[in-house]
Structure 1
Amino acid sequence: EWIMKPSTSEDRCSFVELMASQRELQLPSWFASHWWGEPIKKFVHCLEEHIRVRGLSLDLAYWVCAYCNNQHSITGEMNTNPRASSFFKAMHSCDGLLLVVDEASVALTRVWCAFELATVLLGHVKSKSQGRRFLLDIASAQPWTEVTKKHGFRSEETHDAVLITDGMSMAERQEECFRAGSGHVRQAMRESKFPIEIIEKAMEIDIEAAQASMQADRNRILNCIAGSNFSNFDADPPAHHHSYERCNHHIRSMFAQAAFSVAAMHDDPGYFHRIVKALSDNPEEKCLSLTCATSKVLSDEHVPGLMACMNPGLKILDVNLHSCRAVTCQGLGQLMQSLPKSLRTLVLTLVNLLSVNQASASALAESMPQNLQVLKLKFDFCPLLTSKSLGQIARRLPSSLRKLWFSAARCKLVDDSAIHQLAENLPERLEVLKLNFRTCIITDVAASHLLRNLPRLQLLHDFQFDFRATCVSSDMVQRLRSTSLAPCPKKMQMGLDLDFAAQSSKIAGASALRHTFACWSAILSPSFTECVRHSNEDCESDDQGADLEFTSDLLAESLRNKISESISDVSAAFRKWDTNNDGQLSIEELTHLVRALGIPTKHIGALFKK
């Protein structure tokens, strides 16, 4: 009434139409759902925090109803059918929805916010980016202080809002790739600052009691949810309907999943019970994520609650118990035995746990859902994990498996026998295989045995094997070259991360291995990332120069491959990477680009000089 309507009264347009100079820059990427009564300053704080955490561009556009709707013709924006309104159409033009919840949680009592949430959660909207799912983040203007420690120094940074993200942010994913579990820990610590009071109110959300500024909007939305005849959308909606309760369950479940890490951090059994109840009350839940990383509270007493959250029809399950040391092998085994047989995707992050031993591994092997298509197991830093335990799991891998991630980095009791068992039991339909046995007791014999088993995986197109700091040496090259290799799977792309033990044979060994695989298949395109590393600090300068030249070439090759695979308009992308708009890429800009593409930044200086 004070700014938007007076300023647009002459043109009778929306505020964004008045302010925007280039129409194409206003195409939204995120839909902002909020209550109009919240102070604009706090709303902006939430958007700024969302941009910071998600690593989004400052030029990114949000769809905000107050600014995008024509306030002089609001009835034209609000169709009788809510699914034909500007709100619904705008969501289909975005990649995700950001729910901004005010301090008093009034947004949770507004029928438009509830409708927008239900639309996303019931799968009625898809991301504008093909192949990606529609994301749902939650923000609140709650100040908090982030404490970080790096290189022995402690730093603090204050933020004006806190964010719960649908999955990890880009920075957290990069950190997770660098060190298993660290990205999940960072996400859990950030989300633990979200106000519990808001979560508590979200657990009581009741869509049939939600209100709107105009009664007609409320009637239409509730009638739409109830499935009433279109001609009756303006009539009084049913007081009670099973579709209302269905929406309530989905919204409560969404908040419960988002707040699970918060509940795991607080020693409040009542709060944890309410979270579990919200999850278990939704029988239609197909995708469940339970993040409890670094919780010192979570113990065997909480395991029955975790089990209650997993309904029999669950399709996707992600459980993160990183560093939950109070959970014993009995509790972990009990949890493994309760895995739903209906699962198609299973992600278990069991990093830095003493409870991961032969007993719990045996429970997982015996309870492995046999219709799994995607399996991701992280056992890094588990000191009691043995090769026998991994062998049990390997022998029970389902034949339906398409994608397998297996990580047991820094597990000192894992040796060649684990690799042999895995190599001989790999499902033949595998398309993606990523293994990490860094610092395990793996030798040339096991590594070459695994590689010789790859040709039978005819659908395999993505393979990564990280055995840095193991006993694998360049002698493996001779072992492979003297072996008659079967035809390589078609369209195979292989990423090898090698760490040869002998400094004198690094370059020759890597080159020979490249030659070996090139002879294996003309289609094969090996990509070596950080594959040459000096183990002898006293090596001669000539050797250092040769190694540096070789690895910078490989870095350039990896960068070219990544850009060609993921970017269609290279010139536009370079303009985006050129953050200071000087027409050139500085070493800082190049480093940021390389990290964003998931490529190690070692030798970036040598590449930049070239």
Structure 2
Amino acid sequence: MVDLLLHGKPVSIESAINSIDTVRKLKEEISSRWDVLVSCQLLSFAGKQLLDDAPLPSTSAQPVRVTDFWPLRKKKTVVEIEKTEERGISLKQLQDLIAFLQAESEDGKLPWRSRETILEVKSVNLYQIAEWTIKPATSADSCSYVELVATNPAGQVPTWFISHAWAEPVWEFVNCVARHGQLRDLRETDKPPETSEFYDEVDSGLRSIFALAALPACAKGGLTKELESIATVLQKDTMDRESLNLNLTDMKQLTDDLLERLAPTLPPKLQELTLHLARCEQVTDIGVKRICAFIPKALTFLIFSLHGCQITDVALAEIARALPFSMKRLRLSFGLCNSITNIGLQKLAMPPNLTFLTLDFDGCPQLGDDGLVAIIKTLPTSLETLNLNLMGCHGVGNKSLKALSQKKLRLHKLDLCCFACHNVSDDGASVLAANLPKSLQRFALDLRGTQVTETGIAAMVTENLKEVDWYFQTNDITKHIDSLQELREWHKLQKPLAGAAGPALRKTKKQ
């Protein structure tokens, strides 16, 4: 009798059946009975791998663990990508790997060992993942991990290089990449949302241009003809379209003149519009003004990314004038727009019926309290989710936090990034903590590079919160804090800590 643990359930096989005396034969029997591909199986016993030609364990004190790699590959054949340099891995694929490890774990502990140490999801490194996941999952097909999980070779061509250490926890690396993408307004473009045939037609064309934009050869052909063809598609049968996504990210050749040709083709009845112009370095106030002139009045949802564009306060004023009163969800990104100032923020009034708002001012060195306070004053009471990215806005200080605390909002979610806002201290944090909305359920807080200590952070943890993300330097006193309850208990003890917020990340959930 061979006892197995398959997909979390105990099952058994009579070892005498079909003369099952090796691991390979056991895999074949598992495949026959439960339709688990042999190439997708990894068998382990007592935390150690069982090789194909090895005999079965002689003891039945615990079951043989069957790891099924099908959730990772999801297809019987692998995608061949000839050039190694074109085997980039996406953030989504990394997150899928983490999700797979979580599914294989129990209370965060994996059923595998490395040098007699039990592996854990949050601390397992790339060496250990290679041993327990990558190598066994790819050995039967003699392929790379990217080829195993990829569905479209073109979607794996990398546009970014990220350096990392194999010995660092993969969990932390993936979370850092995700957070960096959120703060820098970076998105994957290999798979657009599925909304309509029209959307797919337009977006697929734009994505093909985006792929070309990353290649030097694109500089020879120019972008005018491509955008004109997109405008033609938009003009065809678009009068009643309600949703549109235009991703022009990183198109270095995109100019105000080209935007002027594209703007009049926006469907007039749009209710949802996503327009990514991030890092289009030739786009200025003129192009933004032209786009704003054709923003439909029925719009309720807008994502407008101008991250890294050459805009000034004029563009912010144009956007403010163009935002319809009907707007419910709004995301504006002005990261690395070095020329915008407090004057522009003072003109950027928010629509009165918003329920969701994201404002990204990452790396805007001229912004300070005067501009941010002006925006906060215009926040509508209908707002339920607020995301403020003030990373690198060195002029932002306690005055902004106090203004936010005085605004009587009924927020459910608040994400506040004050990374490197050097003038923010415990004074501002304590005022905000004392006036957090009772309706608040989720709070994400980044106070690295500020004067806020762990005491100020802990003061913000109200009884209504179900989840908190916070970034600060842990030490011998705080390293044990892994839950909201522990954070609250620590706060009650009021132990003084030295040092301001630092680079470590902790995430807690209500237990």
Bin for the TM-score computed over the shorter chain: 0.5 to 0.7
Q: Any idea what SS the aligned residue of 2:475 has?
A: helix
How many Å separate the matches in 2 of 1:19 and 1:59? 24
How far apart are residue 42 of structure 1 and its match? 8.1
Q: 1:335 aligns with which of 281, 285, 291?
A: 291
How does 1:77-226 map onto structure 2 within 5 Å? 146=158, 148-150=160-162, 173-177=178-182, 179-181=183-185, 183-184=186-187, 187=188
How far apart are residue 450 of structure 1 and its match? 1.1
How far apart are residue 374 of structure 1 and its match? 0.9
How far apart are residue 445 of structure 1 and its match? 2.0
Structure 2 residue 25 is the aligned partner of structure 1 residue 22? no
Which amino acid letter does the alignment assign opposite residue 475 of structure 2?
Answer: L
Q: 2:204 aligns with which of 251, 255, 259?
A: 255
How far apart are residue 338 of structure 1 and its match? 1.6
How many Å separate the matches in 1 of 2:392 and 2:153? 44
Match of 2:405 in 1: 451
Match of 1:415 in 2: 368
Match of 2:479 in 1: 552
Match of 2:455 in 1: 511
Q: 1:469 aligns with which of 420, 431, 435?
A: 420
Compared CA separation, residues 338 and 21, structure 1 to 2 (3 A):
farther
Structure 2 residue 243 is the aligned partner of structure 1 residue 287? yes
How far apart are residue 361 of structure 1 and its match? 0.9
Compared CA separation, residues 444 and 52, structure 1 to 2 (3 A):
closer
8 A Cα contact 1:409 1:439, kept in partner: yes
How many Å separate the matches in 2 of 1:411 and 1:347? 19
How many Å separate the matches in 1 of 2:469 and 2:198? 48
Length, aligned pairs only: 359
Match of 1:527 in 2: 468
Structure 2 residue 308 is the aligned partner of structure 1 residue 352? yes
Match of 1:165 in 2: none
How far apart are residue 411 of structure 1 and its match? 0.8
Compared CA separation, residues 287 and 444, structure 1 to 2 (3 A):
same
Deviations 1:102-145 (A, max 9, x none): xxxxxxxxxxxxxxxxxxxxxxxxxxxxxxxxxxxx96556986
Compared CA separation, residues 439 and 391, structure 1 to 2 (3 A):
same
How far apart are residue 325 of structure 1 and its match? 1.4
8 A Cα contact 2:308 2:335, kept in partner: yes
8 A Cα contact 2:87 2:158, kept in partner: no
Which amino acid letter does the alignment assign opposite residue 548 of structure 1?
Answer: N
8 A Cα contact 1:375 1:401, kept in partner: yes
Which amino acid letter does the alignment assign opposite residue 255 of structure 1?
Answer: S
| Bigger share in helix | 1
How far apart are residue 250 of structure 1 and its match? 6.1
Match of 1:602 in 2: 504
How far apart are residue 337 of structure 1 and its match? 2.3
Compared CA separation, residues 352 and 43, structure 1 to 2 (3 A):
closer
Match of 1:214 in 2: none
8 A Cα contact 1:496 1:531, kept in partner: no
Match of 2:275 in 1: 319
8 A Cα contact 1:473 1:501, kept in partner: yes
Match of 2:344 in 1: 389
Structure 2 residue 440 is the aligned partner of structure 1 residue 488? no
Structure 2 gap ranges (5+):
1-29, 37-67, 101-149, 166-173, 488-501
Compared CA separation, residues 527 and 602, structure 1 to 2 (3 A):
same
How many Å separate the matches in 1 of 2:212 and 2:317? 29
Structure 2 residue 230 is the aligned partner of structure 1 residue 275? yes
8 A Cα contact 2:419 2:450, kept in partner: no
Compared CA separation, residues 372 and 560, structure 1 to 2 (3 A):
farther
How many Å separate the matches in 1 of 2:175 and 2:276? 18
How many Å separate the matches in 2 of 1:476 and 1:257? 45
How many Å separate the matches in 1 of 2:87 and 2:33? 25
How far apart are residue 477 of structure 1 and its match? 4.6
8 A Cα contact 2:234 2:267, kept in partner: no
Deviations 1:506-538 (A, max 9, x none): 54xx325533x45xx542467351134xxxxxx
How far apart are residue 304 of structure 1 and its match? 2.8
How many Å separate the matches in 2 of 1:501 and 1:422? 22
8 A Cα contact 1:494 1:526, kept in partner: yes
Q: Any idea what SS the aligned residue of 2:464 has?
A: coil
How far apart are residue 493 of structure 1 and its match? 3.0
Structure 1 gap ranges (5+):
1-17, 33-39, 61-137, 154-168, 192-246, 533-546, 562-599
Q: Any idea what SS the aligned residue of 1:400 has?
A: coil
Q: TM-score, normalised by structure 2?
A: 0.59
Compared CA separation, residues 552 and 41, structure 1 to 2 (3 A):
same
How far apart are residue 333 of structure 1 and its match? 1.5
Match of 1:244 in 2: none
Q: Any idea what SS the aligned residue of 1:489 has?
A: coil
Compared CA separation, residues 171 and 345, structure 1 to 2 (3 A):
farther
8 A Cα contact 1:257 1:289, kept in partner: no
Compared CA separation, residues 172 and 282, structure 1 to 2 (3 A):
farther
8 A Cα contact 1:379 1:408, kept in partner: yes
How far apart are residue 307 of structure 1 and its match? 1.3
Q: Any idea what SS the aligned residue of 1:523 has?
A: coil
8 A Cα contact 2:223 2:253, kept in partner: no
How many Å separate the matches in 1 of 2:307 and 2:278? 5
Which amino acid letter does the alignment assign opposite residue 276 of structure 1?
Answer: A
How many Å separate the matches in 1 of 2:152 and 2:456? 56
How many Å separate the matches in 1 of 2:398 and 2:479? 26
Which amino acid letter does the alignment assign opposite residue 225 of structure 2?
Answer: G
RMSD: 4.4
How far apart are residue 340 of structure 1 and its match? 1.4
How many Å separate the matches in 1 of 2:97 and 2:448? 37
Deviations 1:301-336 (A, max 9, x none): 211343144201222211111121112211122112
Which amino acid letter does the alignment assign opposite residue 413 of structure 2?
Answer: D
Compared CA separation, residues 467 and 249, structure 1 to 2 (3 A):
closer
Q: Any idea what SS the aligned residue of 1:421 has?
A: helix
Compared CA separation, residues 263 and 442, structure 1 to 2 (3 A):
same
Compared CA separation, residues 146 and 433, structure 1 to 2 (3 A):
closer
How many Å separate the matches in 2 of 1:172 and 1:152? 11
How many Å separate the matches in 1 of 2:97 and 2:449? 40
Which amino acid letter does the alignment assign opposite residue 272 of structure 1?
Answer: L
8 A Cα contact 1:373 1:401, kept in partner: yes
Identity %, equivalent residues:
17
Compared CA separation, residues 326 and 491, structure 1 to 2 (3 A):
closer
Which amino acid letter does the alignment assign opposite residue 342 of structure 2?
Answer: S
How far apart are residue 427 of structure 1 and its match? 0.9
8 A Cα contact 1:473 1:499, kept in partner: no
8 A Cα contact 2:401 2:432, kept in partner: no
How many Å separate the matches in 2 of 1:346 and 1:523? 30
8 A Cα contact 1:391 1:418, kept in partner: yes
Q: Any idea what SS the aligned residue of 2:354 has?
A: coil
Q: Any idea what SS the aligned residue of 1:430 has?
A: coil
Q: Any idea what SS the aligned residue of 1:406 has?
A: strand
